[in-house]
Amino acid sequence: MSKPILAIVGRPNVGKSTLFNYIGQKRVSIVENIPGVTRDRIYLDAEWLDREFTMIDTGGIEIESSDKMLTAMRYQAKLAIDEADAILFIVDGKVGLTSADEEVAIILRNTRKPVIVAVNKVDNMQKANEIYEFYNLGLGDPIAISAANALNIGDLLDEVVKRLPNDEVVEEDNETIKVAVIGRPNVGKSSLVNRLVGEERVIVSDVAGTTRDAIDTHFTKDDTSFVLIDTAGMRRKAKVELPVERYSVMRALRAVDRSDVVLIVIDAVDGVTEQDKKIAGYAHDAGKASVIIVNKWDLLEKDGKTSLRYTENIRTELAFMQYSPILFISALTNQRVSRVTELIKFVAEQHTMRIATSVLNQVIEDAVSINPPPSQFGRRLKIYFTTQPNVKPPTFVLFVNEPEIMHFSYLRFLENRLRESFGFEGTPLKLVVRGRK
């Protein structure tokens, strides 16, 4: 079920971001207009020849000296080996083969994961013989590309999808609710997980085929079974806390991919951080249900309006996630922790809710009569028919006369009407517009 991850590795300035942005440009979805979702994006959902995968730019490590660069590069390569399903190693055709490239290659040669070498900045394909020296990396046939001029990117992606692992056969168990607990180090994830599974019967399992040390924890509460995804280092605290933000982000993205419900854990004292926004944005884009947990509530001095003010602040910071319930807890004192599983169960139900077609069309008709659809060049949008073909997240297809006239703001209006009528708390909704003459 979870999409394979392709990590991009390479020295600074070889063109990683250029390639990343070029591939990203081709996918503009409605949610990307919402502030906070796309800023400084480091992952990207890509699709090529019907294969979907997630690209991660592992770059962005601050480099002050060449010494540090080498350390950072080695680290980056190891990270990619641990967390990704395939690795795209980018080198610079203009600069030629460097010793740093060779160092990285040594690390990459020691993995069984597929590695694809792309030689960037080959702006003139007649001169593609520049790439021969990169055979010395010992990582197979290098592919000449130019990210800036969009040359050969198709060939590169062909090669990438060829090497991605085939979909893991994960046993689908619709009874169990899969939960990812995400948040920055020290927000209290381990404490919360231990509280949740504390007295319950716990089975810890290694999941074959996923990240080497991913450990899932199963527990049952009031006849509902839950699995907490990748609790490695959570149930028993990991000794080393890796300092680089991207490590934990990548790991969290994977957990989100495999989950139904995401618990976004925020530290009451620190509030919502940029990293929280990124991962929450990812969960939203991926169509996952979510609950926002404000932990360490015991540490705040409170007056009668503290939770109200706090809620307003979260609604502003995570503007794209207005639908998620917010819960103030203390994993330390156990305050409201029992509400956590109730809320997980609740949003999981909302996430799988199906609306009967007749009721759905009635609601859309009512919405249209209150607020007529947009028009353009004298033509007015008509919505003929609406269906809900899918859940997780609830997905609606609107058949209309001319899809181009549909407006983002009108879709928002319809989404709000659907929420007012049916709830859908804690889950994003997907609205798809299709033309039908």
Residues forming the annotated binding site for GTP?
A: 10-17, 57-61, 120-123, 183-190, 230-234, 295-298
Rounded CA-CA distance 366/381 in Å is 15
246 vs 351 by CB, closer to ligand GDP = 246
154 vs 389 by CB, closer to ligand GDP = 154
Q: What is the largest CA-CA distance in the chain?
A: 72
Rounded CA-CA distance 337/144 in Å is 54
Would you tell me how many other CB atoms lie within 10 Å of the CB of residue 397? 15
Least distance CB 340 / ligand GDP (angstroms): 12
Specify the amino acid at residue 268: A
Least distance CB 361 / ligand GDP (angstroms): 45
1 vs 125 by CB, closer to ligand GDP = 125
Least distance CB 395 / ligand GDP (angstroms): 33
DSSP, residue by residue, 334-373: TBTTHHHHHHHHHHHHHHT----HHHHHHHHHHHHHHSPP
Rounded CA-CA distance 115/88 in Å is 6
Rg for the chain, CA atoms, rounded:
24
Binding residue numbers: 10-17, 57-61, 120-123, 183-190, 230-234, 295-298
Least distance CB 278 / ligand GDP (angstroms): 17
123 vs 130 by CB, closer to ligand GDP = 123
First to last CA, the chain: 35
Identify the sign of the CA torsion 329, 330, 335, 338.
positive
Q: Where are the alpha helices (DSSP H) in 201-273?
A: 245-258
By residue count, the chain amounts to 437
Rounded CA-CA distance 178/172 in Å is 11
Specify the amino acid at residue 234: M
User: ∠ CA 170-112-259 to the nearest 5 degrees?
Assistant: 25
* CA dist 55 → 24, 163, 191 (Å): 9, 14, 31
324 vs 330 by CB, closer to ligand GDP = 330
Q: What tokens appear for 195 in the block? A: 């509280």
Strands (E), 187-256: 203-206, 215-221, 224-229
Q: Which helix (H) or strand (E) holds 283?
A: helix 274-285
Least distance CB 268 / ligand GDP (angstroms): 8
Least distance CB 70 / ligand GDP (angstroms): 16
Least distance CB 151 / ligand GDP (angstroms): 7
Q: Kindly list the residues in this chain that would bind ligand GDP in the complex (CB under 6 A).
A: 10, 12-18, 59, 120-121, 123, 146-149, 183, 185-191, 234, 237, 295-296, 298-299, 330-332
Least distance CB 257 / ligand GDP (angstroms): 20
Contact 213, 232 (CB under 8 A): yes
Bridge partner residues of 267 (DSSP): 295
Residue 338 CB partners (closer than 8 Å, separation 6+): none
4 vs 10 by CB, closer to ligand GDP = 10
10 vs 393 by CB, closer to ligand GDP = 10
Specify the amino acid at residue 144: A
Least distance CB 17 / ligand GDP (angstroms): 3
Bridge partner residues of 306 (DSSP): none
Least distance CB 3 / ligand GDP (angstroms): 23
59 vs 393 by CB, closer to ligand GDP = 59
28 vs 95 by CB, closer to ligand GDP = 95
290 vs 330 by CB, closer to ligand GDP = 330
Collapsing DSSP states into helix, strand and coil, what is residue 233? coil
